[in-house]
Structure 1
Amino acid sequence: MATDQPTTSSEVDGRLLQMLTDATMEVIPLKGGPEQILATSPGATVAVTCSPKFGLSRTLEQCEVAASAGRRVVPHIAARMVEDRAALRDAVRRVADLGVTDLYVIGGDAAAPIGRYGEAGQLLDDLAEIEHPFTRIGVGCYPEGHPHIDDDRLWEALLRKQSSATYMVSQMCFDAEALTTWLAQARARGVTLPLRVGIAGPLKLAKLTELSLRIGVGQSLRYLSKQHGLVGNVLLGRTYDPVPLIRSVVSDKPGTDIEGLHAFTFNQVPVFRAWAKTYGAMS
């Protein structure tokens, strides 16, 4: 939803803190995933990812953990990991039984589809023909491009998906100017979906560098290197602070429709919560 932009430093701080408090916490369904889910605050929004290694079943199992613990659950469904319409119906039924009303649909990282769906748009088309409880449907967007998909195809896919979606989530970003420039371009092209900004949690920079290069946001990482002396900070074992990025986005031009934050915790939920709590005490 559109939000009036803050006009003073205190208003920026207030909105920044609220966005951190309300951020969606992304958890990877590893072996220790349930412990990470339970480390979120009661009533928190938890997104459970879907990876080729563990399959959709593991995602749905850990969504059950989150729902049973009273968390607001956002399952990730990767199109390339859903075999057919029957499997899609089964997944929808399982999450509907948990009271889920928010779903995030991605193409997925699998090298090849296991069945009918090769991209998110195809799955969304079939989802529209199935009775479901979802009042919110999120899709991915790529302000810094995708390592395997050209920009023209990305724009075409996003415009197609927005007919089924209600919001979009950006890839993990470090460069506020690149993000806001892309968002202005998106609006000019007819993309109207509100944006949840993907942010990295406060990880040690060496680990964050490794993960960023792996998922294809090297351009943003180079920006971070120039602005914040990344190489030296990595050698010193320092930790990334996402606040400058968030502050810049929050205080940017009006009318950009920044709905909130999506925190890539990399299963370091207690670290993220402790950091956010410390920031709140300091702001």
Structure 2
Amino acid sequence: MSAEQRAASPAADDRHLQLLNEATMEVIPLKGAQDQILATPEDATVAVTCSPKFGLRRTLEYCALAANSGRRVVPHLAARMVTDRAALRDFVQRVADLGVTDLYVIGGDAATPVGRYHEAAAMLDDLSSMEHPFTRIGIGCYPEGHPNIDDDRLWEALLRKQDWATYMVSQMCFDASTLTSWLTQARARGVTLPIRVGIAGPLKLAKLTELSLRIGVGPSLRFLAKQHGLVGNVLLGRTYDPAPLVRALLAAEPRPGGDIEGLHVFTFNQVPVFRAWIGTQGGATA
């Protein structure tokens, strides 16, 4: 069966809706994040980010809110925001008390680490030597590279980190062929982790363009511009539609059904918009 036939099949439609309905929804702990979390379905998986601006305290605050409301929570933990083993142990204990069993570990965006951890691998090493409740540990991957880390170091870090991880989450991408080509290369290099594909939720194209350039996904953005008349649509104030990307990913998987574990949606704190959009795809919104 060709990629086009797979994309058009009833099974592909079912898989498309399953991925959307079961997607992890990322929420940034800004003012109003409580409303965003409570706008997710009661059985949703909610990822709560962390950043140098707000600190781990804010991440923990909204993780508690999400967990206490019955949502499944995936805290983000940035290595550069953790001072030492004691601070790591404290964070682990606090999320364990919430019943959290899934943790997403990244290096973080802080220009200067607050303590001993300069990268995710070092912190994962320490985490592996202490008692923790995590049955799932996610790590980041960068199909289009990283603006501050060269490709050789990225591959080396990914291979090191997978010893402690159970899945990986890709940086936001717009081009299915870029991601699947990278995934084929990753498998050839010995990366075996399943992937949760990072996609942008529906967002005004002008804002999405700004954010994409900031995080270094320029090549994929150029694909979006070429395929979808980005400049004209920005001027018209149109909104990005993730559906073609998801369908293209399903059609282009190197191993159909075998590599993509799920989706990680960058909602940009537009959860109601994302859920309303799922409804237009035939998915559940209740």
Query: Could you say which TM-score interval applies, normalised by the shorter chain?
Result: over 0.9
Alignment of 1:1-283 (within 5 A): 9-252=9-252, 253-254=254-255, 256-280=258-282
Write out the 4+ residue segments of structure 1 that deviate beyond 3 Å after TM superposition: 5-8
Q: Is the 8 A contact 1:6 1:15 kept in 2?
A: no
Contact 1:137/1:165, CA 8 A, preserved across alignment? yes
> Unaligned stretches of 5+ in structure 1?
none
Looking at structure 2, the residues matched to 24 and 281 of structure 1 have their Cα atoms a distance apart, in angstroms, of 15
Q: What letter matches 1:226 in structure 2?
A: K
Q: 1:166 to 1:6 in 2, by over 3 A?
A: farther
Q: State the AA in 2 paired with 1:257.
A: D
Paired with 1:116 and 1:277, the residues of 2 have a C-alpha distance of 46
- Paired residues of 2:26 and 2:48 also in contact (CA < 8 A): yes
The share of aligned pairs that are identical, in percent, is 77
Amino acid at match of 1:180: T
Question: What is the letter of the counterpart of residue 13 of structure 2?
Answer: D
Instruction: Give the TM-score taking structure 1 as reference length.
Output: 0.96
Task: Tell me the distance in 2 between the aligned counterparts of 1:81 and 1:133.
Answer: 21
> Does structure 2 conserve the Cα–Cα contact (< 8 Å) formed by 1:51 and 1:109?
yes
| Aligned-partner SS, 1:280 | coil
SS at match of 1:143: coil
| Secondary structure of the corresponding residue to residue 26 of structure 2 | strand
Aligned length: 278
CA contact (8 A) 1:80 1:117 kept: yes
SS of alignment partner, residue 281 of structure 2: helix
Relative to structure 1, the CA distance from residue 281 to residue 20 in structure 2 (aligned partners, 3 Å threshold; closer, same or farther) is closer
TM-score (normalised: structure 2): 0.95
Aligned partners of 2:283 and 2:200: how far apart in 1?
21
Q: Structure 2: how far apart are the matches of 1:17 and 1:6?
A: 15
Aligned to 2:282, the other structure's residue is in SS state helix
Query: Counterpart amino acid of 1:107?
Result: G
Unpaired runs of at least 5, structure 2: none
CA distance in 1, matches of 2:35, 2:265: 17
Contact 1:201 1:242 in 2 (8 A): yes
- CA RMSD, Structure 1 to Structure 2 (Å): 1.4
Give a deviation string over 1:39-87, Cα, whole Å, max 9, x none.
1010100000011100011001100000000000000000000000000
C-alpha displacement at 1:259, in angstroms?
0.2
Cα deviation 1:109-155 (Å, max 9, x = unaligned): 00110001000001000000110010000000000000000000000
